[in-house]
Amino acid sequence: MKIGILTSGGDCPGLNAVIRGSVLKGVISHEAEFVGFRWGWRGVVERDIMPITRHDVRGLSKQGGTILGSSRTNPFEGEQGGPENIGRMLDEEGIDAIIAIGGEGTLTAARRLFDEGGIPVIGVPKTIDNDLAATDYSFGFDTAVEIATEAIDRLRTTAESHNRAIVLEVMGRHVGWIALHSGMAGGAHAILIPEQPMGIEEICGYVESVRDRGRAPLIVVAEGFKLDTMEEAHSHLGLDAFNRPRLGGIAEKLSPMIEERTGIESRHTVLGHIQRGGAPSAYDRVLATRLGMAAADAALDRAWGSMVTLRGTDIERVSIADATGGLNVVPQSRYDEARILFG
């Protein structure tokens, strides 16, 4: 069997470990052949293909980024896109399956290609946001939380030195898992997430409570957070390839509002793509490797339209439709648990 692998959407730590796990399992256990599509779905549409051998993945699990490159290309757009053209390309190249490693946008595209054209695809969940349903955790999340927690630790010392309030913005389009975990780990004085809109007066109440105790307030906010007066999450960066708003900037919006209402000098920091970069944590290396190995097995079993997933400590399979049918949101109980620590 000849299997093509792609990494699509935003990059994250652990992508190379998935590639390595798939190739080693496929070559050693099944004598499969592997190729990579460069730049995500763009490589599928444009036939930008490279061979991947066992030698090519040697020592790859500790390396950040992706050797295949990534993009936010929509495989249904362009003259060469769509299931009919992609199916013809696979036949002509002798490729029997695609392992698509990606998040919400990537896997939604994979589901459509399978549903509408029978494209033989296996999904691997990738998102630092941890927002995909049907998997308990996705690789990249643990590393992102570690990076955000270190940032909180560093910001705390400079905030205390100047007696300032600092608002740290982390990623999280629809869900606030990174903000929740890093905020709890770093001892943030308030955690603002998309699932829980909040008024500016309540936020300022937490800030003033911290100030009154002689501390420097530190707030963690997910990029998708909305004040209770906002209709949509803050965005001034246009749309991505899947016509979704490119979020970012809510911390810059909140910081002056806090300073105006409380009189506390306030600053903001947007962590941004730092959360995606660098070497993956040990946990993410192991999880990504296991998911990659399971994806190779699923391809050899011709379990098209399925996604490998983590349930507890076990790797299982679910349909991509189930995985993309809803979001893995922060439940109320988890937020109430963290809220005890605010102020």
List the binding residues for Mg(2+). 104
- Numbered residues of the known binding site: 10, 72-73, 103-106, 127-129, 164, 171-173, 223, 267, 273-276
Which tokens hold the place of 1?
């069997």
Known binding residues for substrate: 127-129, 164, 171-173, 223, 267, 273-276
DSSP three-state, residue 235 = coil
Query: What are 22's strand-pairing partners?
Result: none
The identity of residue 338, as a single letter, is: A
User: For residues 92-110, b (16+ Cβ closer than 10 Å) or e, as one string?
Assistant: eeebbbbbbbbbbbbbbbb
Binding residues for ATP: 10, 72-73, 103-106
List the catalytic residue out of 56, 91, 115, 129. Answer: 129
CA 328 to chain centre: 12
**What are 256's two structure tokens?**
């002056």
d(CA 4, CA 23): 10
Please indicate whether residue 11 is annotated as part of the active site. Answer: no
User: Do 131 and 255 contact (CB within 8 A), yes or no?
Assistant: no
| 223, 206 Cβ separation under 8 angstroms | no
Catalytic positions are 129
